[in-house]
Amino acid sequence: MRVLGIDPGIAIAGFGFIDKDGHKLKPVQYGCIQTAAHTPAEERLVQIYDSAVALIDKYKPDTVAVEKLFFNRNVTTAFAVGQARGVIILAAAQRGLPVAEYTPLQVKQAVVGYGKAEKRQVQEMVKMFLKLSAIPKPDDVADALAVAICHAHSSGLSQKINEVLR
C-alpha cells in the first residue's frame, strides 16, 4: 500500500509518500509545496492544487492521509490552512482516492505512543521508522511523513474492525 501523507498549509504544505509492505515502511518521496507570500490567495490555492495533482499522478498513492486542522488563536491562518487542505482533498477525491483524516493527537499517539509528545520526539520516530539519515526539513515534511505513518499503522486496524462489523 502506498500512502500520501499531507501536512496542509498555505505557505508550506508538507507531503510524504511511503510504502507499507507487511510491517515494513519505506519512504518513496517527500518534500513540500511552497507558495510565495504576498501572492493572492486564489493563486496560491491553484499552485497547491496543481502540485498535489502532479504528485498524485506521478507517485500513484493508494490512499491519502491528511492532518486535521488545529488552531489556537489565529483564525485568519486557520481559514487559509483550511482552504489549502480543501484543495488537496479535492485533488485526491478527483483521482478517486480515499482520504483519511487524523488529529495531531492521533498522529502523535500512532507514531510516538503518546498523544502529547513533543515535536522533536515525533521527528526522531519518523527518522527511525523510515530509516532516514536525518530528520526531514522543514518541519512540515516530517509532519507529513508522520501522518502517513499514522495511517499506515491505523489502516490495518480499521480494516480488521470493519471486517468484524460486517
Catalytic residue ranges: 7, 67, 140
Three-state SS at 155: helix
What are the strands of the beta sheet with 63-67, ordered from one edge?
Answer: 24-34, 12-21, 2-7, 63-67, 99-102
Task: Confirm if 103 and 70 have CB atoms less than 8 A apart.
Answer: yes
Note whether 17 and 92 are within 8 A (CB). Answer: no
Distance CA(81)–CA(10), nearest Å, equals 5
Q: What cell does 138 get? A: 522543514
Are the C-beta atoms of residues 71 and 120 closer than 8 Å to each other?
A: no
